[in-house]
A and B are shown apart, each in its own frame.
Chain A
């Protein structure tokens, strides 16, 4: 087990290294490169050179990369090109805000979707099942940001029940009740997105298990139907669901770009889009790194949970999935 963990972590470090290398190379290979954004055409050659030198952009790319990695290892994410603000200062608060938003939506979706999907698998094509199926059809086909805009128009503008956007009302920063009110609409939008997939998934996972031979054996043993579902089938059905949940973990930091933009939520997704539009590569690199770390952790958690619920899987023997 420890040996497995150590091996996985070493693997992950290697993968992270590769990801930073690829991203760095891409950014510097792009037409114009990072220099493009702050060099205006009417800037003098001399001034440009000085700027490039100050930012270290006149060095060969590999030197730049080594310097960036060196700084990173000391916890320094670099500075923005435009205003020369430390990246960490603007990044970390947004990460926190995103996690608040996403975990609320994610837990809510799980709490609703898994029991609902399980119930639907026992009452196929019933009213509840049909409702869920309509919801997932719409959830898969509807642009989430549009749903957000419509909710804003109805509940914030027309009815004036909920705040239109942002995380806090001016002057009420830090009040939990204010945060809750601001959470309602974006969480609704995000939950619907997760819900569509999770209900469908847990239903089909459960249905597959319910058609297995060992369920018939349990019934032949005289086990009551409720116990068949909740004891014999549920644990088997949870195995793939848990894996999916683990793999979705990176969504907690990266999945809210659209919703955060609609609701002006000061999260990482919105920061990412703004920085992408402004081509602030140092911030983009930092966020890419965070997402990559989340992907790796998500994979690891999925594997660990998988081994925990399924006795057929033994961690030591299985060559871990690379992230």
Chain B
């Protein structure tokens, strides 16, 4: 088995409000091996961005607070470090790129300066040396005429170009883990594909791991080795990409997959939607967080919150439907349940 690079255990983080603390993530547990890609999928408000900011320990600056849990990166607990020590890790071995590339670059500095700064900070390079490395990086991320581009300001570049620059900044010091928070959401569809290809290529070249945050199951299918589905602050389901797509076990994941156009079902059939909306984190329902929207809700779901139950060694879901399966170590139940599920769908139609 590959080396464990990132291990998040029971991460509980949230924000301060008038009433007290609002938990945006609740006991999130995740792990990521070296050279792998983990996709964190969920709707907006599910806590995926909070999770990623917490890993970077940038959550404090966004007004958030980490309440509990551990984040081990390379065996070291990032939680035990202070911000000063963290500046030596951030941007060096642990890098991050963001959703909106146009606003992620400082408008008053040239692109070259912004990339070179990282090199000057972490590798103590001289200014000139850092600049030429910055130009190399621009070339690497596929920016034409990097020498001239390096002297330009962010407003002179398109959104896709800006995202490439942001990636170049993140890659400057050969990070081992790249956290990408919806890196393509703000971009045009054609540019999205280019950026994803670029990330895939760079991952191979640098042998780095990627924690990719997305709301798009399609992107996850393309990029991920493992997928974790988040719902209202918890991990609803987690497993390898094959397991999640072949054998989705949490009703929420099933709903998500069904709502992808052309993924399942006939052409012309009405697109599946999960009824209701994601609950706001300060008024969560009792019991399972998904139960008001769940088509298979049982009385137990209303009272007790399900833990993450093992479906097999590589697949976990937080749903009471799988309690027996988990206990028996079988996986028959799921398929049986799935068959029943599709029958009810037919009836409904």
A214-B106, A214-B107, A312-B107 as given contacts; A220 in contact with B92, CB under 8 Å = no
Q: Is B237 interfacial (CB-CB < 8 Å)?
A: no
The verdict on B290 contacting chain A, using a C-beta distance below 8 Å, is no
Q: Which of A216, A218, A236 contacts B107 (CB 8 A)?
A: A236
B104 with A221: CB separation less than 8 A = no
Query: What B residues does A219 contact at CB under 8 A?
Result: 58, 61, 90
Across the interface, name the chain B residue whose C-beta is closest to A212. B103
| Complex: A312 Cα to B154 Cα, angstroms | 9
Given the interface contacts A222-B118, A223-B117, does A217 sit within 8 Å of B107 by beta carbon? no
Question: Tally of A-B residue pairs with Cβ under 8 A?
Answer: 75
* B169 touches which of A216, A221, A239 (Cβ 8 Å): A221
Closest to A216 in B: B58
Q: A309-B108, A310-B107 are in contact. Are A217 and B166 (CB under 8 A)?
A: yes
Q: Interface residue count for A (Cβ, 8 Å)?
A: 21
Report the bound CA distance from A217 to B169 in whole Å: 9
Q: Is A224 positioned at the interface, with any CB of B under 8 Å from its CB?
A: yes
> Would you call B122 an interface residue if the criterion is a C-beta within 8 Å of the partner chain's C-beta atoms?
yes
A21 to B77, CA, bound (A): 74
Instruction: Note all chain B residues with C-beta closer than 8 A to A8.
Output: none
Q: Which of A202-251 contact B (CB under 8 A)?
A: 212-214, 216-225, 232, 235-236, 239
Interface string of B149-177 (1 = CB under 8 A from A): 00001010000000000100110000000
B96-134 contacts to A (CB < 8 Å):
96, 98, 100, 103-109, 117-118, 121-122
Is A311 part of the contact surface with B, judged by Cβ < 8 Å? yes
Cβ contact within 8 Å between B105 and A214: yes
Q: Are the CB atoms of A223 and B58 closer together than 8 Å?
A: no
Contact in complex: A224, B153 (CB < 8 Å): no
Residues of A within 8 A of B118 (CB): 221-222
Asked if A221 and B105 make an inter-chain contact with CB atoms under 8 angstroms apart, the answer reads: no
Contact of B153 among A232, A235, A309, A311 (CB under 8 A): A311
Q: In the complex, what residues of A have CB within 8 A of residue B88's CB?
A: 222
- A220 to B117, Cβ gap below 8 A? no
Do B87 and A213 touch (CB < 8 A)? no
Q: How far is the CA of A219 from the CA of B96 in the complex (A)?
A: 10
User: In the complex, A232 Cα to B121 Cα: how many Å?
Assistant: 14
Q: Give A287 Cβ to nearest chain B Cβ, in Å.
A: 39
Q: Which residue in B61, B98, B100, B106 is a CB contact (below 8 Å) of A232?
A: B106
Interchain CA distance A312-B108 in the complex, whole Å: 8
> Closest residue to B83 on the A side, CB-wise?
A225
Query: Chain A: which residue is nearest B121 at the CB level?
Result: A222
Say how far B309's CB is from chain A's closest CB, in angstroms.
35
B108–A222 contact, CB under 8 A? no
Q: Does B38 sit within 8 A of A, measured CB to CB?
A: no
Are B84 and A224 interface neighbours, CB within 8 A?
Answer: yes
* Cβ proximity bits B79-92 to A, threshold 8 Å, 1 near / 0 not: 00001101111111
Contacts A235-B108, A312-B153 given; does A223 touch B103 at CB 8 Å: no
Interface centre among B87, B90, B92, B166 (most CB of A within 10 A): B87
Tell me, in angstroms, the Cα distance from A217 to B90 when the chains sit together: 10
Within 8 A of B (CB), among A275-311: 309-311
- A236–B98 Cα distance when bound, in Å, is 20
**B56 located at the interface, meaning its Cβ lies under 8 Å from any Cβ of chain A in the complex:** yes
B107 and A311 within 8 A (CB): yes
Within the complex, the shortest CB–CB distance from A277 to chain B, in Å, comes to 49
Q: From A313, which residue of chain B is reached at the shortest CB distance? A: B155
Given A217, A235, A309, A310, which contacts B105 in the complex, CB threshold below 8 Å?
A: A217
**Chain A residue with Cβ nearest B92:** A222
Residues of B within 8 A of A (CB): 56, 58, 61-62, 83-84, 86-92, 95-96, 98, 100, 103-109, 117-118, 121-122, 153, 155, 166, 169-170
Known: A212-B103, A220-B170, A222-B91. 17 other contacts (CB 8 A): A213-B104, A214-B104, A214-B106, A216-B98, A216-B104, A217-B169, A218-B106, A220-B96, A220-B98, A222-B89, A222-B92, A223-B87, A224-B84, A235-B108, A310-B107, A311-B107, A312-B153
Can you list 9 A-B pairs with a CB-CB distance of less than 8 A?
A: A216-B62, A216-B98, A217-B104, A217-B169, A220-B95, A222-B86, A222-B88, A222-B92, A311-B107
